[in-house]
Structure 1
Amino acid sequence: MRVFVAGGAGVLGRRLVSQLVARGHEVTATTTGPAKMDLLRQLGAEAVVMDGLDASSVGQAVAQARPEVIVHQMTAISGKPDIKHFDRWFATTNRLRTEGTDHLLAAAEATGVRHFVAQSYAAWNGIREGGWVKTEEDPLDPTSTGAAAAAIRHLEDAVLRAGGAVLRYGAFYGPGATDDQVELVRRRQYPVVGNGAGHSSWVHLDDAATATVLAVEGRAQGVFNIVDDDPAPASEWLPHLAVCAGAKPPLRIPTWLARPLAGRTAVTMMTEGRGFSNAKAKRELGWQPRYPSWRQGFREELR
């Protein structure tokens, strides 16, 4: 198929482009500037410079590519994590998930693209009631009122209305995905908050890319949690990450101290976050993660 990957030069996009090309698809991949065009060409894609926040730029790029499928992987997450000021850190990504999604969907409609796949998020942000592990039938946390949560809701609603597939990826790890977090762990600046009972779900970049290829080829519709088999509390995964990174055990700080220091999002993630089940993705996409658990994945990636 002819596949248009918006955000193809990103940390996940590069792996997705490579896998799509290896499976015989004709790929057009976008980047925000000329610096990464050679990289995309080396992966076997047609490289295009596109501004995901400019409707004209998006429309022109999609019209020229004439794709059968559009995959939305546009984000702008870089630099040191700033969970305390989460919405400020995610400001451009939030726009790409709202305005950028709308531009891509409009371009798809204008050019007759029938299938649309988009990146969403499912790491710790499930509804904070009931059990620790959520399925696609459970809503994302409805009490999250920040811009980042609103942007995800906008993206999911828009894509589902268009008959597309929403892939809720867990927290990424792998080369280029966790470097900043690992550095914080090594500096002992990434503590366990409170009892660390909040659960998270992880997924290796290569596994996320494989699931996306399957969603493209199967013309999947609906919501899918793309996470590994092992949702776990922060009190387990963070110390394990420290061991794998050759760091000292993470510090532990009480909730009352973490709230002014790290912010509400960090406290929620560490103490109340919910993990996610991948049963639907396995059943309907035929997906099997190469790394069933972050326990193995952290060890192999950070050794």
Structure 2
Amino acid sequence: MRVLVAGATGALGKELVPRLVAAGHEVFAMIRSESSKARASQLGAVPVMADALDRAQVETAVREAAPEVIVHQLTAIGHVDTRHFERSFAATDRLRIEGTDNLLAAARATGVRRFIAQSNGAFTYARTGGPVKTEQDPLENSPIPAMAPMIAAIKHLEKAVLGATWTEGIVLRYGGFYGPGTSMAPGSQQVELVRTRKFPVVGDGGGVWSFIHIADAAEATVAAVENGGRGVYNIVDDDPAPVAEWLPALAEMLGAKQPMRVPRFVGRLAAGPAGVVLMTELRGASNAKAKRELGWHPAHPSWRQSLLG
């Protein structure tokens, strides 16, 4: 199939494009700058130029590629400062709103038959009920102010993609990425904070995280291109775990001292309200539907064996 990947040179795109090519697909990479052309070509894709926030440019690029499938992986997330959570996600929020709308408009104009979009299953489920959520469970309806714009952008993306009756809309709710090129890669700022004992467990550390190795996320996306049906899929590993469990385990993997433990009010001062939510109230996600319907199984079923690799 002809597949257009928007966000082809990001952490996930760099894993996804070669896999799509190896599976026999003709892959096009929507890129914004001339400097990205060589990277896209090295990955095996044909580059097409467009700024995702410029609707006319996006339609021109989509018409040039004439894809059967669009894969929307556009983000602009760098280091996440939990004290300024909304600032860290502002550019990505815009891509998830305006970028999604522009890609969908171009897809409709050119008759794209399947549209796959990156969503977030790591931060977005309602902070009530059980510790592990399925795709049937609601997203957060009462987010704290710092997280409200990010949740709103996710909801916009999902509603737009799933509501596009003229194409087969698929939403992939990825867990927290780890592996090469991610914020959990060896030597990354986040890992170094753990190594130097500057990443404490806040409160009871009861927030449940679901992780996914970046290579497994890419494999699941290929499966969605080939086998997915309209709807939402959690793309996470088999082992959701509370912060009080995975953070000390990561410190042990690093040969570092165990993380400090601080009460919620201290965590709020150091990491902001969003940091406290992530540490104490987050919910994990189940991958049962993705396994069942996509025929996908993570090669890294647990972060315990591979969080640093």
Task: Give the TM-score taking structure 1 as reference length.
Answer: 0.96
Q: Supply the distance in 1 between the matched residues of 2:142 and 2:306 (Cα, whole angstroms).
A: 32
2:11 aligned with 1:6, yes or no? no
Further displaced range: 31-40 or 52-61: 31-40
Q: Please show how residues 1-303 of structure 1 align to structure 2 within 5 Å.
A: 1-78=1-78, 80-144=79-143, 146-162=148-164, 163-177=168-182, 178=184, 179-299=188-308, 301=309
Q: Secondary structure at the match of 1:8?
A: coil
Q: Which amino acid is the alignment partner of residue 179 of structure 2?
A: G
Shift of 1:124: 4.0
How far is 1:181 from its partner? 1.4
Q: 1:219 to 1:298 in 2, by over 3 A?
A: closer
Instruction: Give the CA deviation at 1:260.
Output: 2.5
Amino acid corresponding to residue 273 of structure 1 in structure 2: L
Could you say if the C-alpha distance between residues 36 and 275 of structure 1 is closer, same or farther in structure 2, counting changes exceeding 3 Å? same
Runs of 4+ in 1 over 6 A off after TM superposition: none
Instruction: Determine the C-alpha separation between the residues in 1 that align with 2:124 and 2:160.
Output: 19
1:69-114 residue CA offsets vs partner (Å, 9 max, x unmatched):
0000000012x32111111111110000000000000000011111
Give the stretch that moved more between structures: 92-101 or 188-197: 188-197
1:176 CA displacement: 1.2
Q: Percent identity?
A: 58
Letter aligned with residue 171 of structure 1: G
> What's the offset of the Cα at 1:219?
4.2
Give the partner amino acid of 1:21. V
| Structure 1: runs of 5+ lacking an equivalent | none
CA RMSD of aligned residues (A): 1.2
Contact 2:48 2:64 in 1 (8 A): no
Q: Closer, same or farther in 2 for the Cα pair 1:237/1:109, shift >3 Å?
A: same
Post-superposition shift, 1:22? 0.5
Shift of 1:45: 0.6
* 1:115 and 1:219 in contact (8 A); partners too: no
How far is the alpha carbon of 1:118 from its aligned partner?
Answer: 0.2
Count of residues in Structure 1 that have an aligned counterpart in Structure 2: 299
Partner Cα separation in structure 1 for residue 127 and residue 90 of structure 2: 24
**Matched AA of 1:258:** G
Structure 1 SS opposite 2:153:
helix
- CA contact under 8 A between 1:95 and 1:151: conserved in structure 2? yes
The unaligned stretches of length 5 or more in structure 2 are: none
Q: Compare 200-209 and 172-181 and name the one that shifted more.
A: 172-181
The normalised TM-score by structure 2 is: 0.94
CA distance in 2, matches of 1:72, 1:251: 39
Between the aligned partners of 2:169 and 2:209, the Cα distance in structure 1 is 26
